[in-house]
Chain A
Amino acid sequence: MPNHLLSEEAQGALDRIERADIVVGIPSYNNVRTIGHVVRAAQAGLAKYFPQFSSLIVNSDGGSKDGTREAVMSVQVEDTHLMLLSTPMPPVHRLSFPYHGIPGKGSAFRMIFQMAELLRAKACVVVDSDLRSITPEWIDLLVRPVLYAGYDFVAPYYHRHKYDGTITNSIVYPLTRALYGLRVRQPIGGDFGISGRLVSRYLKRNDWETDVARYGIDIWMTTIAIAEGFRVCQSFLGAKLHDAKDPGADLSAMLHQVVGSVFSLMQEYESAWENRSGSDPVDLFGFRFDVGLDPIEVNLDRMFNAFLRGCRDLGELWTMALHPDTHEDISRLARSLERDRGTFHLSDELWARVIVDFACAYKQRPLERSHLLPSLTPLYLARVASFVLETQNLFSAQVEERIENLCLAFEGLKPYLRARWKGETAPPQARREGAALKKEKLEV
């Protein structure tokens, strides 16, 4: 395996360490404010729960200029007595290196995985560097299922504000669940536990230079684990509170990297999903409890305006991406929005159809992908606005029910997806079948 991401300095450091059973990787870029807390939590978690294992914390940095790397190396874990440790804390190796290649989270993970493989790690954990709510228990919850229960991939399960994680809730979770039949609630959560076996599998792939190098990495990891039959579980980690990410990044780029990765993997793993219907729950570890969450303000008018702008100006592209019926429904929705904003409602079924149509257009390429994916943004904002309107007075449990209904709508559209995916031109029947299936499920 070529280790072109590892510098000589990094290779030398690994040679000195020789071996680590657990590797905790933290990708970063200008996270000096929060990374110290993450490193402390990781080190305390390793010391408290896995003192018998050799371990390494590695920071894979994207060229921070705010002293992130220095913070990683200098942070101290004090007050060990507060963690009720009976023995002195065992040493945990700590490294910080800049990664090379396309700037992005995926490239940072690649360096971490290469280090984990070279050190023959049994388990590798990756956690975001902007987390404010991480505790030492997160490390336990992400590592233990790998080391003691034979799981290959531990996905996070958090409580998040109802308006947080909207790409997850409205696209990635419902679509991944409907495709591969596993209910992994946070497929792009960002904090994962991975077995050494799966790390090796990731490194063998040759698509690291695609959107995987950026925001596509999370869904790429989750999809490979599910579609290739690795053992997958979830761990309840409590709340996910983090800093606002990358202020320079815009939604459209993020959306199209994540969604593009999902669609691209759909093509690769067609055989894994085409005959699959319905979905199964995934093992969930950890004690579930309710937590307080940071409020999130949303500007509905801006989303509505973005949607109306899209309807007015992107018709040329949408006619090629969407089925005529779907496009007609979207146009009708825009007309109704112009009359009254308060009652706007983009139904689960229509939204699922939009995503399925885009997925099929991604495969069949009636237009350039670089035009197709960004043109989804106004539709996505319309869906988010509709979701916000519908759930503004609901509690988180009720919101989860709404997301569950959306998932069922996606699962119900599987026959429609199959028909459209194969380029068949008579999908209404498939859609009716899907609707019937959904109804049946709800009745159950």
Chain B
Amino acid sequence: MIRTLQDVIERAFAQLSQTTTAYLPPLLAGLIILFGAYVTAVLVRLLLTRLIKGAGIDRFLQQSGVSYMFDRSGRVRTSRLIAGSTYWVILGIGFLTAVSAFNTELTNRMVEGIVLLFPKLVTAGLILLAGAWLAQYLGRSTLVWAVNEGLPSPRKIAMAIRTVIMFVAVVVAADHLNFARSVFLAAFVILVGGAVLAASIALGLGAKGAVQRHFQDRAEHTEETPERSLWNHL
């Protein structure tokens, strides 16, 4: 009995020892790599934050309103943005290198998958960024136009424009990543189709009178010669 117990304990220790000798060195190596990556990432972030003035890109982000989308104060700094992105990229690379130190089938497949996905992720990110820029630009144009034209709820109209454009960007990005492609496409078709149908029904039934009044008011306003002269004379 005691002998059997001793065998079991010895086997457990042997297995533990085997596991430890098999996994501890790569784990230690992985941790060292991760730590090294972390230190490098922190240093690079510090360096980039100090080095990049990035006035041009800062200005572009601010002008286009993209920075405003991420930060309501509109004060997102390019230096911080680039340094932060670089920091996470270095950490990601460190993580992948650390994982690949295990050299197992699972980790190798994981690393390979991520490496292959990376360019697609970058492209998808760029698509989203371009979408954000376009959404903000057209949203603001619509907002100013709607305010100057005296349309009701200009902010809601602008928000609708932004949402639609961002949604399209998300659909395109998801399609590019081959991620839930059919779900996004179906959602897109249902949403756009639904919106058009809803607008048509609303216009046809409920808002007919309002639209008629609106155009009548506009026509009358155009005919008011005395006031038009104030609006047109320099």
Q: Is the CB of A215 within 8 A of B65?
A: no
CB distance from A269 to the nearest CB of B (A): 21
Q: Name, among A168, A242, A299, A305, the residue most crowded by chain B CB atoms within 10 Å (CB to CB).
A: A299
Choice from B59, B150, B233 contacting A365 with Cβ under 8 Å? B59
Q: Is the CB of B228 within 8 A of A244?
A: yes
Mask for B97-117, Cβ within 8 A of A = 1, else 0?
Answer: 000000000000000000000
Q: Is the CB of A320 within 8 A of B74?
A: yes
A374 and B227 in contact, given A190-B234, A367-B65 (Cβ under 8 angstroms): no
Q: Is the CB of A309 within 8 A of B230?
A: no
On chain A, the residues within 8 Å of B150 by CB distance are 305-306, 309
CB distance from A179 to the nearest CB of B (A): 18
Stretch from A24-32, A41-49, A246-254 forming part of the interface with B: A246-254
Q: Is the CB of A245 within 8 A of B233?
A: yes
On chain B, the residues within 8 Å of A290 by CB distance are none
Interface size on B, residues (CB 8 A): 31
Q: Which chain B residues in 183-234 approach chain A with CB under 8 Å?
A: 222, 224-234
Tell me the bound Cα distance from A297 to B74 in angstroms: 42
Tell me the bound Cα distance from A378 to B143 in angstroms: 13
CB distance from A276 to the nearest CB of B (A): 25
Tell me the bound Cα distance from A72 to B143 in angstroms: 43
A377 and B230 in contact, given A309-B154, A316-B68, A367-B65 (Cβ under 8 angstroms): no
Choice from A166, A188, A215, A316 contacting B230 with Cβ under 8 Å? A166
Q: How many A-B residue pairs have CB under 8 A?
A: 104
Mask for A254-283, Cβ within 8 A of B = 1, else 0?
Answer: 100010000000000000000000000000
A164 beta carbon closer than 8 Å to chain B: yes
Q: Is the CB of B226 within 8 A of A297?
A: yes
CB distance from B170 to the nearest CB of A (A): 23
Choice from B143, B145, B227 contacting A298 with Cβ under 8 Å? B227
On chain B, the residues within 8 Å of A305 by CB distance are 150
On chain B, the residues within 8 Å of A316 by CB distance are 68, 140, 143
A313 and B140 in contact, given A296-B229, A366-B62 (Cβ under 8 angstroms): no
Nearest B residue to A218 by beta-carbon distance? Answer: B234
Tell me the bound Cα distance from A84 to B129 in angstroms: 74
A377 and B228 in contact, given A164-B233, A365-B59 (Cβ under 8 angstroms): no
Nearest A residue to B231 by beta-carbon distance? Answer: A251
A245 and B232 in contact, given A313-B155, A365-B63 (Cβ under 8 angstroms): yes
Mask for A302-328, Cβ within 8 A of B = 1, else 0?
Answer: 000110011001101101100000000
Tell me the bound Cα distance from A310 to B155 in angstroms: 11
Q: Which chain A residues in 149-176 approach chain B with CB under 8 Å?
A: 163-168, 172
Q: Is the CB of B233 within 8 A of A166?
A: yes
Mask for A218-259, Cβ within 8 A of B = 1, else 0?
Answer: 100000000000000000000000101111011110100010
Nearest B residue to A315 by beta-carbon distance? Answer: B155
Nearest B residue to A240 by beta-carbon distance? Answer: B233
Q: Is the CB of B144 within 8 A of A314?
A: yes
A167 and B232 in contact, given A310-B147, A314-B144 (Cβ under 8 angstroms): no
Tell me the bound Cα distance from A384 to B230 in angstroms: 10
Q: Is the CB of A247 within 8 A of B230?
A: no
Q: Is the CB of B234 within 8 A of A188?
A: yes
Q: Is the CB of B143 within 8 A of A314?
A: yes
On chain B, the residues within 8 Å of A368 by CB distance are 63-65, 137, 140
Choice from A163, A190, A247, A371 contacting B141 with Cβ under 8 Å? A371
B6 beta carbon closer than 8 Å to chain A: no
Nearest A residue to B156 by beta-carbon distance? Answer: A313
Q: Is the CB of A313 within 8 A of B154?
A: yes
Tell me the bound Cα distance from A166 to B144 in angstroms: 21
A370 beta carbon closer than 8 Å to chain B: yes
Q: Which chain B residues in 26-76 approach chain A with CB under 8 Å?
A: 59, 62-65, 68, 74
Q: Is the CB of A296 within 8 A of B230?
A: yes
Q: Is the CB of A367 within 8 A of B63?
A: yes
Q: Is the CB of B62 within 8 A of A244?
A: no
Tell me the bound Cα distance from A344 to B113 in angstroms: 66
B4 beta carbon closer than 8 Å to chain A: no
A295 beta carbon closer than 8 Å to chain B: yes
Q: Is the CB of A247 within 8 A of B148?
A: no
Q: Is the CB of A295 within 8 A of B144?
A: no
CB distance from A156 to the nearest CB of B (A): 12
Q: Is the CB of A251 within 8 A of B232?
A: yes
A59 beta carbon closer than 8 Å to chain B: no
Q: Is the CB of A296 within 8 A of B62?
A: no
Q: Is the CB of B147 within 8 A of A313?
A: yes
Tell me the bound Cα distance from A126 to B147 in angstroms: 36
In the complex, the 6 A-B pairs of residues with the closest C-beta atoms, listed nearest first: A297-B226, A245-B232, A374-B144, A252-B148, A251-B231, A313-B154
Q: Contacts A310-B147, A371-B141 known; list 19 others, CB within 8 Å.
A: A166-B233, A168-B234, A244-B225, A244-B232, A245-B232, A250-B231, A251-B231, A294-B229, A295-B226, A298-B227, A309-B154, A313-B146, A313-B154, A317-B143, A319-B74, A320-B62, A368-B63, A374-B144, A374-B148
Task: Write the residues of chain A forming the contact surface with B, with a CB cutoff of 8 angstroms.
Answer: 163-168, 172, 188, 190, 215, 218, 242, 244-247, 249-252, 254, 258, 294-299, 305-306, 309-310, 313-314, 316-317, 319-320, 365-368, 370-371, 374-375, 377-378, 384
- A-B contacts, 6 of them at CB < 8 A, read A250-B231, A296-B226, A313-B143, A366-B63, A367-B62, A370-B141
